[in-house]
Amino acid sequence: MADAAVRVSGLSKQFGDVCAVDDVAFYVARGEFMALLGPSGCGKTTTLRLIGGFERPDRGRIEVGGRVVAEGRTFLPPERRRVGMVFQDYALFPHLDVARNVGYGVRSGSTRAARVGEMLELVGLGDLGGRMPHELSGGQQQRVALARALAPRPEVLLLDEPFSNLDATLRARVRGELREILTAAGATAIFVTHDREEALSLADRVAILWQGRLVQVATPNELYRQPATVEVAAFIGDADLLPGEATGGYVGCELGRLPVCPPTHGQVRVLIRPEAVQLCADPNGSAQVVAREFYGHDQVVVVRLPSGRLLRARLGPWATFQPGDCVEVGIDGAVSVFPNDVAPTAT
Ligand code: ATP
């Protein structure tokens, strides 16, 4: 990717015995929205802070806008990297009003006021330039933080858990707004999250970190359909695993002969997503419903297969299966499989 806004390679950072970031390499294209996703402690924030210049790497190279900002003895401080950072707690200056917060990083001159006005309009706070940060809601504070980070026209915006301080209802709304604002600004952004839905719904591509290592970078769709490892599969969505034997484009397992993508051979674990499972009421069916969790917009029905293994089906709210019902189980679409190198586990 020639036109990368950010490119890291061989990036490593150790804290004492902990290898927080281990030989990580990826790029973010201009205008792209990239999520860094993974479980707590996997190195997401450290990676973001290394790119921002808030940590110094032990090894590796970081380029921002085609310029090396960290490698060997080269280490540019945050203010010389052309990065904008939105911190988890927004870190607004409490003694400055909204307009001054937004204008903080913009060079003083005749165009500063216009740039501040433009940014406030962009984030929908055109009338609130004179307010103090404590007079704003959480969502408004976040938009000020975003406007402040975008105002100096950074090469890339770095956002650390941007929604963690918002309640669930506000979070859903602000997510969409953030995406619209960044698209309108033509911004490149990297955001850290441990929330899979947030990453899948917002990002153009998602980078999965696991114990300091980058295990997969893919579009949300690819990630969900073709996770690189069983751990990634289970982390980004509900998954049940069944033993099977693959022969090219098909795998034989307890649920019959299922198409596999990509084709493979040998003993495998078959990944079954609950939303791919179809149930058909049948008094002679070989599986039995054992539990049902109703969520309103959907429900999860748990069935016991003849082997005794449990399998989850995510169904619409209108399905009326009850514990004790006998059913036939079908699978919609192709499944993914993983080499059978460890004992099958279900999540
Ligand atoms: P979370 O989702 O919980 O914020 P994370 O994926 O962002 O986690 P990091 O904050 O990058 O993970 O931490 C990676 C590892 O490095 C963790 O084991 C953490 O304890 C350790 N670590 C991070 N910063 C420091 C530090 N300044 N000193 C010592 N250890 C640190």
Checking if the pLDDT of 12 tops 50, the result is: yes
- Separation of alpha carbons 130 and 103, rounded Å: 12
Q: Are residues 255 and 204 part of one domain?
A: no
The CA 211 to ligand 1 mean position distance, Å, reads 10
Q: Are residues 269 and 212 part of one domain?
A: no
- The contacts of residue 38 (CB under 8 Å, 6+ apart) are 44, 194, 208, 209, 210, 235
**What six digits make up the tokens of 112?**
């500063």
Cis ω on the peptide bond leading into residue 77 (within 30° of 0)? no
Q: Is 276 exposed, middle or buried (0-12, 13-18, 19+ CB in 10 A)?
A: middle
- Separation of alpha carbons 300 and 316, rounded Å: 9
| 124 in any annotated domain | no
- Count structural domains, the chain: 2
Average pLDDT over residues 200-208: 95
Checking if the pLDDT of 346 tops 60, the result is: no
For the chain, give the percent of residues with pLDDT over 70.
97
The domain that holds 162 is classified in CATH as 3.40.50.300
- Separation of alpha carbons 328 and 284, rounded Å: 8
Q: Are residues 224 and 247 part of one domain?
A: no
Q: Which residues line ligand 1 (CB under 6 A)?
A: 15, 18, 20, 38, 40-46, 194
Q: Are 24 and 12 in contact (CB under 8 A)?
A: yes
| 144 in any annotated domain | no
Structural domain for 195, as ranges:
4-82+154-231
Atom of ligand 1 nearest to the CA of 36: 6
Q: Are residues 226 and 176 part of one domain?
A: yes
Checking if the pLDDT of 183 tops 80, the result is: yes
Choice from 11, 44, 46 to test ligand 1 binding pocket (greatest atom count within 8 A of CB): 46
- The whole-model pTM stands at 0.86
End-of-domain residue from the set 207, 231, 255? 231
Cα R_g (the chain), whole angstroms: 24
Q: Are residues 192 and 242 part of one domain?
A: no
Ligand 1, atom 29: closest residue by C-alpha: 15
The domain that holds 281 is classified in CATH as 2.40.50.140
Average pLDDT over residues 123-148: 89
End-of-domain residue from the set 201, 231, 261? 231
Q: Checking phi first, is residue 231 left (phi over 0); if not, alpha (psi -120 to 50) or beta?
A: alpha
Ligand 1, atom 27: closest residue by C-alpha: 15
Q: Are residues 166 and 42 part of one domain?
A: yes
What letter does residue 335 receive in the DSSP assignment?
B
Average pLDDT over residues 24-48: 96
Mean of per-residue pLDDT scores for the chain: 91
34-38, 166-170, 264-268: range with lowest mean pLDDT:
166-170
Q: Are residues 293 and 177 part of one domain?
A: no
**What six digits make up the tokens of 186?**
């033509």
Q: Are residues 208 and 64 part of one domain?
A: yes
